[in-house]
């Protein structure tokens, strides 16, 4: 029996050919292939301008540059998320305002954002993550903080009630890291339909840009990475279809009490299939069960990684994240899984020691 990894990229012969074409071209630094990737992203969304960066963290930073976030500005971030959000806020010379998440989708809670705003003042902008592909409450959040940055690292290709993820906020970002929906091995994307915002972002990436406020650093993606990302983006429809098929297989086998909230959802690209265990004891028991059968289930975010704990904030303001983090267990779900891998996971779902 072979071990089933929690994540693995799907790299096709077309991907290899795309990278090899650039390697043989004589130009591998940021150049024409990177610009074509940016054009492909704009074509996908139908408007605006995009920048391909060296990381998702720098894409978040560029979003704040585009929004002209003042020094020391408050930037709202969900506590149940990646530390890259904090890194980007700090890099921009701003201050994080950490808020709790919704019980079902684990996206930023409008009520928690409102409460935090009442305590500290309204944030200048908010990083809104569509966690695991679930659609955040964008209109409600925008009422409190109009400068929304949609983080589509988990949800590029998802559609919600207000359209394609990445088209509601004033600016949006995604990651091209190896585990994401589509990959350049590394990298990030930042895009906006707002002309002034996109002009500020693209101007910042030019070599001639100088500012006493913003630090200068290498930002744009190499053509080698861009070639891989372009090839992968061209298959996004097939990626959606494969993820949806795997999700439906899991849902058919999964006990209702453990099934992820909000599924099935025909518009959602499911990034993670996250079981909701009764408590931490059950989660650890199921984790051991899957590992015993050579399936790499994952705890995902752990308690010490919650962003409010990173900052030493009192946990009482974050009851949902604190209650959730000990109960989540993620199963492998990615297009590179074989049908037999999927069937093995389904068989285990029907035999869980609940």
Give the catalytic positions in this structure.
180
Residue 124 burial class via C-beta count within 10 angstroms: exposed 0-12, middle 13-18, buried 19 and up: buried
**How many other β-carbons are positioned within 10 Å of the β-carbon of residue 141?**
23
Question: What residues contact residue 80 under an 8 Å CB cut-off, 6+ apart?
Answer: 101, 106, 131, 301, 306, 307, 320, 321, 324, 325
Which has the closest alpha carbon to 91: 210, 186, 215, 177? 215
Helices (H), 194-330: 195-205, 223-233, 236-253, 280-292, 307-310, 319-324
Rounded to whole angstroms, the Cα distance separating 167 from 149 reads: 10
Residue 154 is classified by DSSP as: T
Q: What is the DSSP string of 35-103?
A: HHHHHHHHHHHTSSEEEEES-HHHHHHHHHHHTTPPTT-EEEEESSS-THHHHHHHHTT-EEEEE-B-T
How far is the C-alpha of 45 from the C-alpha of 235, rounded, in Å?
15
């Amino acid at each position: 029996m072979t071990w089933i990894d929690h994540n693995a990229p799907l790299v096709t012969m077309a991907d290899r050919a795309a990278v090899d074409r650039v390697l043989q071209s004589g130009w591998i630094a940021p150049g024409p292939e990177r610009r074509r990737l940016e054009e492909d992203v704009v074509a996908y969304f139908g408007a605006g301008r995009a920048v391909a960066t060296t990381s998702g963290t720098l894409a978040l930073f560029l979003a704040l540059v585009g929004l002209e976030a003042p020094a020391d500005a408050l930037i709202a971030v969900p506590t149940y998320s990646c530390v890259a959000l904090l890194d980007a806020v700090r890099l921009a010379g701003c201050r994080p305002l950490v808020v709790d998440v919704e019980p079902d989708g684990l996206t930023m809670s409008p009520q928690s954002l409102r409460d935090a705003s009442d305590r500290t003042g309204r944030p200048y902008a908010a990083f809104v993550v569509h966690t695991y592909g679930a659609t955040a409450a964008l209109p409600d959040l925008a009422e409190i903080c109009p400068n929304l940055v949609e983080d589509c690292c988990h949800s590029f290709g998802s559609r919600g009630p207000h359209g394609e993820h990445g088209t509601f906020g004033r600016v949006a970002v995604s990651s091209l890291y190896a585990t994401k929906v589509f990959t350049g091995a590394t990298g990030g994307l930042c895009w906006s339909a707002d002309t002034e915002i996109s002009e500020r972002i693209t101007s910042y990436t030019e070599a001639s840009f100088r500012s006493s406020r913003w630090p200068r650093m290498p930002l744009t993606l190499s053509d080698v990475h861009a070639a891989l990302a372009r090839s992968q983006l061209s298959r996004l429809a097939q990626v959606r279809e494969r993820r949806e098929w795997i999700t439906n297989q899991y849902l058919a086998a999964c006990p209702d009490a453990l099934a992820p909230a909000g599924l099935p959802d025909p518009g959602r690209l499911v990034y993670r299939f996250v079981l909701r265990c009764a408590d931490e004891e059950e989660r650890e028991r199921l984790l051991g069960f899957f590992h015993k059968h050579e399936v790499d289930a994952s705890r995902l975010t752990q308690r010490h990684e919650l962003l409010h704990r990173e900052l030493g904030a009192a946990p009482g303001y974050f009851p949902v994240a604190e209650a959730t983090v000990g109960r989540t267990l993620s199963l492998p779900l990615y297009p590179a899984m074989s049908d037999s891998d999927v069937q093995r996971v389904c068989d285990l779902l029907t035999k869980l020691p609940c």
